[in-house]
Chains A and B, each alone.
Chain A
C-alpha cells in the first residue's frame, strides 16, 4: 500500500514536472509541404545525397528569461529538396549509399544546413517572428570533382498577431525554407548559364579550384568556378 502511494506521488510529481517543462518550451515543426517550381526542367539527371544530419536536422536554443525553443526541420528539408530537384531536372535520384556513376547521374548535390537563427518580436521590437537559415549545396561531378559550394542565405518572417508562439515561428521557418527553394529555382532557371558551368564549355567560366591547381601557373590567375558562381549567388541573396 505504501509503495503504491509512493508510486502515485512520483507519477504526480512527474506529470507536474512534464507539464511545467512543456509550458516552458516551444517546439517548432515545419510541415513538409512545398509548391512545385514553375520552371522548365534542365535536361540532366541529378543525384541527391542526403546526410542523416540534414534529414534529421534539429536545433534548440535556451533563451535567458524566456521559453526554450526547439526546431525540427529534418523531414521538411528532405521534402523541400526532393520537390525542387525533381521539378528542376529531368531526373532526380536519391543516391543513398550508391556511387553516382552507377546511378547514371550528371551531377551530385549534397545539401547541408550551416546555421539556423531566429528572433522573437520582443527582441526585434516588431510584430514579427523571423528565421534565417543558411544552407550550403555541395555540387560535384560524378567523379567527385567539385563544381561549386553554393551558399544560400534564406529568410522568412511571420506576423505574431495571426497565430502567435510556435505556430508563427513555424510559418516563419517554412517561409525561410521556401525562400531557399525560390533562390535555387530562380538560379537554375537560367538554363544556359547552368549548362555551361556544368559542362565547362563556357570560355568565360573558369575551371574548378582543384583542376586549376593541377594545371599549373598559367591558369592559376583565373578565379575558380566555385568562387565565380558562389560570389554571384551571394550577391543575388544580398
Chain B
C-alpha cells in the first residue's frame, strides 16, 4: 500500500479501521445447526423471537433478543419479524413465562385454546424462535492502578477477563406443529486493558459476535428449504 499516494480521507479511514481491529480482544466463534424438517418462508409470513422462560432458569438478556431481532431483518436473506411484545400481549396469558409452551408437543393443546389459532394466523407468524442462553464472565485477573498528582496522572498495569456467550435458538414450525431444528452460537473471548500511563482497552465483544453469528445462521436455516 502506497501511503504517500493515498487520499488523506481514505488513509484516515484505513487507520480508523485498523485501530478498531486492534482495539478488539481475541475471540473464537462456533456456530452450529441441526435441522429436522424442511423450512422456507414466504414474503407474507414472519417469525417471532421470544426468550425462553426465566421460570425454567433461562437468563437470556433482553438486549440480546433485540439484537437478534434487528439482525435477522437485515441483509439479502432478511426475514420479517413480528414484534415479540405484541405477540405475547395478543396471546396473554399463554406466552407468559409461567405458562409458555415448554416443547413443540404442547403446540396442539395451545392451538386448541379459544382464539389462539386465529390470533396466530392473523399475525402471520409461521415460526416461533425460542432463545436460550446468556453471556457469563468465566475468568479474570491482573491489576490496574491509576493515580493523579499535581504534575498529572496515569495508569499502570494489566487487567483481563474472559467472557463466554453461548446461545441457542430453537425453531418451531407452527404450520406443521413441530420442531424444525435449532441453531446455536458460542463465542469465547478475552478482553484486556494494558496501561502504561494511558490505558488501552482491548474489548472482546462476545455477545455482539454471538448475535451476529446466530442471526446469520437463523436466516439461512429458515430461508433455505433444505439443509442450510
Query: Footprint of B on A, CB under 8 Å?
Result: 35-40, 126-128, 155, 157-159, 161-162, 175, 178-179, 181-183, 185-186, 189
Give 8 pairs: A residue, B residue, CB < 8 Å, sorted on A. Answer: A38-B116, A127-B59, A159-B62, A179-B96, A183-B93, A186-B93, A186-B99, A189-B113
State which of A35, A40, A158, A182 has its C-beta within 8 Å of the C-beta of B99.
Answer: A182
**Segment at the interface with A among B5-13, B20-28, B84-92, B101-109:** B84-92
State which of A37, A155, A158, A161 has its C-beta within 8 Å of the C-beta of B93.
Answer: A37
Q: A127-B61, A128-B59 are in contact. Are A183 and B98 (CB under 8 A)?
A: yes
Main secondary structure of the interface of B (DSSP, over half): loop
Q: A40-B114, A182-B98 are in contact. Are A159 and B63 (CB under 8 A)?
A: yes
Main secondary structure of the interface of A (DSSP, over half): mixed
Report Cα–Cα, A128/B57, bound state, in Å.
Answer: 12
Top 7 A-B pairs, shortest CB-CB distance: A182-B93, A35-B89, A35-B92, A182-B96, A162-B62, A159-B62, A185-B93
Contacts of B97 in A (CB 8 A): 175, 179
Q: Is the CB of B94 within 8 A of A38?
A: yes
Is the C-beta of B119 less than 8 angstroms from some C-beta in chain A? Answer: yes
Report Cα–Cα, A127/B61, bound state, in Å.
Answer: 9
Total contacts A-B at CB 8 Å: 60
Query: Footprint of A on B, CB under 8 Å?
Result: 54-55, 59, 61-63, 88-94, 96-99, 113-116, 119
State which of A39, A155, A162 has its C-beta within 8 Å of the C-beta of B114.
Answer: A39
Q: A38-B116, A38-B119, A40-B114 are in contact. Are A185 and B61 (CB under 8 A)?
A: no
Report Cα–Cα, A127/B98, bound state, in Å.
Answer: 20
Q: A179-B96, A183-B98 are in contact. List 7 more A-B contacts (CB 8 A).
A: A38-B93, A39-B114, A40-B115, A162-B62, A162-B63, A178-B96, A181-B93
Report Cα–Cα, A127/B116, bound state, in Å.
Answer: 33
Q: Is the CB of A162 within 8 A of B61?
A: yes
Q: A178-B96, A179-B96 are in contact. Are A35 and B61 (CB under 8 A)?
A: no
Closest to A184 in B: B93
Report Cα–Cα, A231/B223, bound state, in Å.
Answer: 48
Closest to B94 in A: A38
Contacts of B116 in A (CB 8 A): 38
Q: Is the CB of B91 within 8 A of A159?
A: no
Contacts of A181 in B (CB 8 A): 92-93
Closest to A36 in B: B92
State which of B59, B63, B93 has its C-beta within 8 Å of the C-beta of A126.
Answer: B59
A162 to chain B, nearest CB (A): 4
Q: Is the CB of B92 within 8 A of A159?
A: no
Of B93, B97, B115, B119, the most chain A CB neighbours within 10 A belong to: B93
Report Cα–Cα, A35/B94, bound state, in Å.
Answer: 12
Contacts of A39 in B (CB 8 A): 113-115
State which of B59, B61, B91, B98 has its C-beta within 8 Å of the C-beta of A179.
Answer: B98
Report Cα–Cα, A189/B110, bound state, in Å.
Answer: 13
Report Cα–Cα, A162/B59, bound state, in Å.
Answer: 13
Report Cα–Cα, A39/B114, bound state, in Å.
Answer: 6
Q: Is the CB of B63 within 8 A of A182?
A: no
Report Cα–Cα, A175/B55, bound state, in Å.
Answer: 12
Contacts of A38 in B (CB 8 A): 90-94, 113-116, 119
Contacts of B92 in A (CB 8 A): 35-38, 178, 181-182, 185
Report Cα–Cα, A158/B54, bound state, in Å.
Answer: 10
Report Cα–Cα, A157/B60, bound state, in Å.
Answer: 12
Report Cα–Cα, A126/B137, bound state, in Å.
Answer: 11
Contacts of B119 in A (CB 8 A): 38
Closest to B96 in A: A182
Of A40, A126, A159, A185, the most chain B CB neighbours within 10 A belong to: A159
Closest to A168 in B: B62
B54 to chain A, nearest CB (A): 6
Report Cα–Cα, A155/B97, bound state, in Å.
Answer: 10
